[in-house]
């Protein structure tokens, strides 16, 4: 491990020197003289006196270097039958002109713009245009229902929302505009304007005075020059965990973000300028932010924007077609996608239908890569299948196999080793280090490296409470696991009640809050259960009020969750039960129920109030 080990050791022993060197790859309008400001722990800031523009680093500098005709963005949309390539010059022109549109609508440095778009080029253009102005974008995943969108609008308080008339799925069209209208009706702080991309597949009615047509605005737009911002100024806010109360807005700064992501492209993903990188994710998720939009463009690579599915658009060979047609070197997706492909094509017949010789690596993240899926993909593709682990909060990999530095032996079930900058420790509840192989809470010793969250949007106190209070001096990841004798990390799952549905983190509490509003429900619990395709799906258990009828209730509850949270929750399993198991203090034993549902021989906790309740639930949970 000498190459990797030396790099990691250097990043931990002298982080300022390590990241000062990495920062030289970024174009600064004012180069930082101070690398790490550690005067106000636990609020550490990177490159505090530096100044830059992220859009300049992603677009302008490559054009200025004479590479304007190189492909920057490949848009591949099997749901519309569209393929289009944007050169760096074309993407810069579109971005600068939409920045001019936003500036004309009063958007300036520090103002927020909510992005509620499907996987179309306008999504990237909007994000980059915000970066150009020094504005703060907040992308809301297109699957979110009006309630969830409204609370994000109220927290971000945007001047403008950018949306589209619809999103297009293989079997249906999702009308975005009615959901946005309903969200704005609910919001306390509605935007001044909405810019709408009218798609040919389905057009929508615009509200006069508020709604503006994207294409009409762009026809007369004048390009806006980039606005330099402080490295510590926010680039974006991304909400996580699907909470129903005040949402948790992850803040990403400009300077640390650019330095860290650019570093990962060469050292982790083994990419060079001009090569093709495809993150088969969604711009509404952190992977889409980091590795569809920013990292490939910061490097000067070509990024693929795919509006389709791993299966059904039209078949389980969809991914291999995209790799073959566009010469993809690195594919980054979720284990969910590979499991879906494997389910439809267990023998890998579709892999052989395409020339995928350009594909050098398959990277996966978003949830745990189970050994069966790892072995299947390794066998069928004949390339390294690299599991790596990170979070919305970190913005890039905590643990991975650094393919651009040293390819370490792969271990099924492990995302390999901590990346430079991450001092990963496994801690007991008392804060003591666990021994090799011993499970505990996965924590990271402060300071976190560049590119990770410096705080939460408008809520320093919640940042401290959520991540830093459990073990002073450490960031609590919320996951449990262990490090083996070789230094490999194994992530075993969440230590709280957040579940991971196809790479999307959802709070079980948010679903419970919806169930509890039904007049027939006395109390409820939601647990995450294993799913072959999505990794985890939520399962609801409800207790009826006295005299209430359960006829048709499960279907009504499923519909309510879809309306309030969205189809992204994949909520389909509801059981009406006589009672829920609780401790004597009234806490519902969710962890115990999760274990039983997983088929474990779960012991009856000593704190349980009535053991017979748990006994009655066992056959229900295991079916």
Residue 320 and residue 354 in contact, taking contact as beta carbons nearer than 8 Å = yes
Question: Does residue 553 share a domain with residue 453?
Answer: no
Rounded mean pLDDT, 159-175: 94
pLDDT-derived band of residue 287, with 50, 70 and 90 as boundaries? very high
Rounded mean pLDDT, 19-48: 98
* Beta partners for residue 240, in sequence order: 248
Residue 247 and residue 272 in contact, taking contact as beta carbons nearer than 8 Å = no
* Better-predicted residue by pLDDT, 601 or 337: 337
Distance CA 235, CA 215 (A): 25
Write out 29-67 in H/E/C secondary structure: CECCCCCEECCCCCCCEECCCCEECHHHHHHHHHHHHHH
Which of these three, 409, 443, 468, is where a domain ends? 468
Look up residue 569 and give its DSSP letter.
G
Distance CA 162, CA 114 (A): 6
Task: Return all residues near 85 (Cβ < 8 A) that are at least 6 apart.
Answer: 71, 73, 74, 75
With residue 580 as reference, give the H or E element that holds it: none
Asked whether residue 301 is assigned to any structural domain, the reply reads: yes
Q: Domain residues for 19?
A: 2-308+388-468
Distance CA 593, CA 614 (A): 8
The distance of Cα 444 from the centroid of its chain, to the nearest Å, equals: 20
Distance CA 305, CA 79 (A): 13
Task: Return all residues near 96 (Cβ < 8 A) that are at least 6 apart.
Answer: 129, 132, 223, 224, 225
Mean pLDDT of the chain: 92
Which of these three, 468, 491, 512, is where a domain ends? 468
Least confident residue range of 21-30, 148-157, 304-313, 587-596:
587-596
Question: Does residue 521 share a domain with residue 464?
Answer: no
3-class secondary structure, 395: coil
The phi, psi pair for 297, rounded to 5°, reads -75, -35
The distance of Cα 270 from the centroid of its chain, to the nearest Å, equals: 22
pLDDT tens for each residue of 421-437? 999 999 998 999 999 99
Distance CA 501, CA 571 (A): 10
Burial class of residue 185, CB neighbours in 10 A (0-12, 13-18, 19+): exposed
The predicted model scores a pTM of 0.85
Write out 291-351 in H/E/C secondary structure: HHHHHHHHHCCEEEEECCCCCCCCCCCHHHHHHHHHCEEEEEECHHHHHHHHHHCCCCCCH
Asked whether residue 286 is assigned to any structural domain, the reply reads: yes
Residue 162 and residue 129 in contact, taking contact as beta carbons nearer than 8 Å = no
Give the sign of the dihedral formed by CA 558, CA 561, CA 566, CA 570. negative
Distance CA 326, CA 278 (A): 10
The sheet with strand 423-427 has its strands ordered as 423-427, 440-445, 474-483, 489-494
Tokens of residue 523, six digits? 């109390």
Return the pLDDT at 615: 87
Burial class of residue 623, CB neighbours in 10 A (0-12, 13-18, 19+): exposed
Return the pLDDT at 129: 99
Please confirm whether the linkage preceding 101 is cis (ω < 30° from 0).
Answer: no
Residue 538 maps to which CATH number? 3.30.300.30
Domain count, the chain: 2
Name the H helices within 71-193.
Answer: 88-104, 121-133, 146-156, 176-186
Distance CA 61, CA 55 (A): 9
Tokens of residue 512, six digits? 């419970």
Return the pLDDT at 244: 41
Asked whether residue 196 is assigned to any structural domain, the reply reads: yes
How many H helices and E strands in the chain?
20, 31
Burial class of residue 86, CB neighbours in 10 A (0-12, 13-18, 19+): buried
Return the pLDDT at 171: 85
Question: Does residue 423 share a domain with residue 518?
Answer: no
Distance CA 438, CA 469 (A): 23
Distance CA 516, CA 543 (A): 10
3-class secondary structure, 548: coil
Least confident residue range of 53-67, 456-470, 476-490, 546-560:
546-560
Residue 193 and residue 277 in contact, taking contact as beta carbons nearer than 8 Å = no
Asked whether residue 322 is assigned to any structural domain, the reply reads: no
Question: Does residue 397 share a domain with residue 254?
Answer: yes
Rounded mean pLDDT, 41-56: 98
Strands 276-279 and 234-240: unpaired
Give the sign of the dihedral formed by CA 593, CA 598, CA 604, CA 610. positive
Asked whether residue 367 is assigned to any structural domain, the reply reads: no
Residue 125 maps to which CATH number? 3.40.50.12780
CA atoms within 13 A on the CB side of 164: 22
Buried residues in 389-403 as b, exposed as e (16+ CB within 10 A): bbbbbbbbbbbbbbb
Pseudo-torsion of CA 56, 58, 60, 65, nearest 10°?
120
Rounded mean pLDDT, 350-370: 93
Cβ atoms within 10 Å, residue 555: 11
Residue 15 and residue 447 in contact, taking contact as beta carbons nearer than 8 Å = yes
Question: Does residue 238 share a domain with residue 286?
Answer: yes
3-class secondary structure, 352: helix
Return the pLDDT at 242: 41
Residue 398 and residue 424 in contact, taking contact as beta carbons nearer than 8 Å = yes
Return the pLDDT at 197: 98
Question: Does residue 450 share a domain with residue 512?
Answer: no
Listed residue (222, 217, 214, 226) closest to 63, CA to CA = 226
Question: Does residue 553 share a domain with residue 455?
Answer: no
pLDDT value at 256 more than 70: yes
Question: Does residue 192 share a domain with residue 68?
Answer: yes
Asked whether residue 491 is assigned to any structural domain, the reply reads: no
Return the pLDDT at 470: 93
Distance CA 565, CA 508 (A): 11
Asked whether residue 32 is assigned to any structural domain, the reply reads: yes
Residue 60 and residue 226 in contact, taking contact as beta carbons nearer than 8 Å = yes
Rounded mean pLDDT, 79-95: 98
pLDDT tens for each residue of 218-244? 999 999 999 999 999 999 999 985 444
Asked whether residue 371 is assigned to any structural domain, the reply reads: no
CA–CA distance from 97 to each of 112, 133, 210 (Å)? 18, 11, 20
Strands 417-418 and 423-427: unpaired
Question: Does residue 160 share a domain with residue 19?
Answer: yes
Rounded mean pLDDT, 467-490: 95
Strands 193-197 and 160-164: parallel
Question: Does residue 518 share a domain with residue 444?
Answer: no
Which of these three, 452, 468, 484, is where a domain ends? 468
Question: Does residue 290 share a domain with residue 215?
Answer: yes
Name the H helices within 427-507.
Answer: 460-463
Question: Does residue 8 share a domain with residue 102?
Answer: yes
């Amino acid at each position: 491990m000498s190459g990797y080990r030396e790099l990691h050791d250097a990043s931990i022993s002298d982080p300022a020197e390590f990241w000062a060197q990495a920062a030289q790859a970024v174009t600064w309008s004012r180069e930082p003289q101070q690398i790490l400001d550690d005067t106000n722990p636990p609020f550490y800031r990177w490159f505090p006196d530096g100044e830059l523009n992220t859009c300049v680093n992603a677009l302008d500098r490559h054009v200025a270097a004479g590479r304007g005709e190189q492909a920057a963005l490949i848009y591949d949309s099997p749901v519309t039958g569209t393929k289009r390539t944007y050169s760096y010059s074309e993407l810069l022109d579109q971005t600068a002109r939409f920045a001019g549109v936003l500036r004309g609508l009063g958007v300036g440095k520090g103002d927020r713009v909510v992005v509620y778009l499907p996987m179309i080029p306008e999504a990237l253009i909007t994000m980059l245009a915000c970066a150009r102005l020094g504005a703060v974008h907040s992308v809301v995943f297109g699957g979110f229902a009006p309630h969830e969108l409204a609370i994000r609008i109220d927290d971000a308080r945007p001047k403008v929302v950018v949306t589209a008339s619809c999103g297009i799925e293989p079997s249906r069209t999702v009308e975005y505009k009615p959901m946005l209208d309903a969200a704005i009706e609910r919001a306390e702080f509605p935007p001044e304007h909405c810019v709408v991309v009218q798609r040919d597949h389905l057009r929508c009615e615009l509200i006069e005075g508020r709604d503006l047509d994207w294409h009409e605005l762009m026809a007369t737009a004048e390009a806006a020059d980039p606005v330099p911002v402080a490295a510590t100024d926010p680039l974006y806010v991304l909400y996580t965990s699907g909470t129903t109360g005040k949402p948790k807005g992850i803040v990403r700064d400009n300077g640390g973000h650019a330095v860290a992501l650019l570093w990962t492209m060469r050292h982790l993903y083994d990419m060079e300028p001009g090569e093709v990188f495809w993150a088969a994710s969604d711009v509404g998720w952190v992977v889409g932010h980091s590795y569809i939009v920013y990292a490939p463009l910061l490097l000067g690579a070509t990024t693929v924007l795919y509006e389709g599915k791993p299966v059904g658009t039209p078949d389980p060979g969809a991914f291999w077609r995209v790799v073959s047609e566009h010469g993809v070197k690195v594919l980054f997706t979720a284990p969910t996608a590979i499991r879906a492909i494997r389910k439809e094509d267990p023998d890998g017949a579709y892999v052989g239908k395409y020339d995928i010789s350009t594909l050098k690596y398959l990277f996966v993240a978003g949830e745990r890569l189970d050994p069966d899926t790892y072995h299947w993909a390794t066998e069928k593709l004949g390339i390294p299948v690299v599991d790596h682990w990170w979070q919305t909060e970190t913005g890039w990999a905590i643990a991975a196999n650094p393919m651009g530095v040293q390819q370490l032996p792969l271990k099924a079930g492990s995302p390999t080793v901590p990346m430079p900058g991450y001092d990963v420790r496994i801690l007991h509840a008392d804060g003591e280090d666990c021994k090799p192989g011993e499970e505990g809470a996965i924590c990271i010793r402060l300071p976190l490296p560049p590119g990770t969250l410096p705080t939460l949007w408008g809520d320093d106190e919640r940042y401290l409470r959520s991540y830093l209070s459990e073990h002073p001096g450490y960031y609590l990841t919320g996951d449990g696991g262990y490090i083996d004798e070789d230094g490999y990390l194994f992530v075993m799952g969440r230590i709280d009640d957040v579940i991971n549905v196809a790479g999307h983190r959802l709070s079980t509490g948010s679903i419970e809050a919806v169930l509890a509003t039904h007049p027939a429900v006395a109390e409820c619990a939601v647990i995450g259960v294993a799913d072959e395709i999505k990794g985890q799906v939520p399962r609801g258990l409800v207790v009826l009020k006295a005299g209430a009828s359960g006829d048709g209730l499960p279907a009504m509850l499923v519909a309510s969750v879809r309306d309030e949270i969205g189809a992204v929750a994949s909520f389909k399993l509801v059981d009406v039960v006589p009672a829920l198991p609780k401790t004597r203090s009234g806490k519902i034993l969710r962890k115990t129920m999760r274990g039983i549902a997983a088929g474990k021989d779960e012991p009856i906790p000593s704190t349980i109030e009535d053991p017979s309740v748990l006994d009655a639930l066992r056959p229900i949970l295991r079916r």
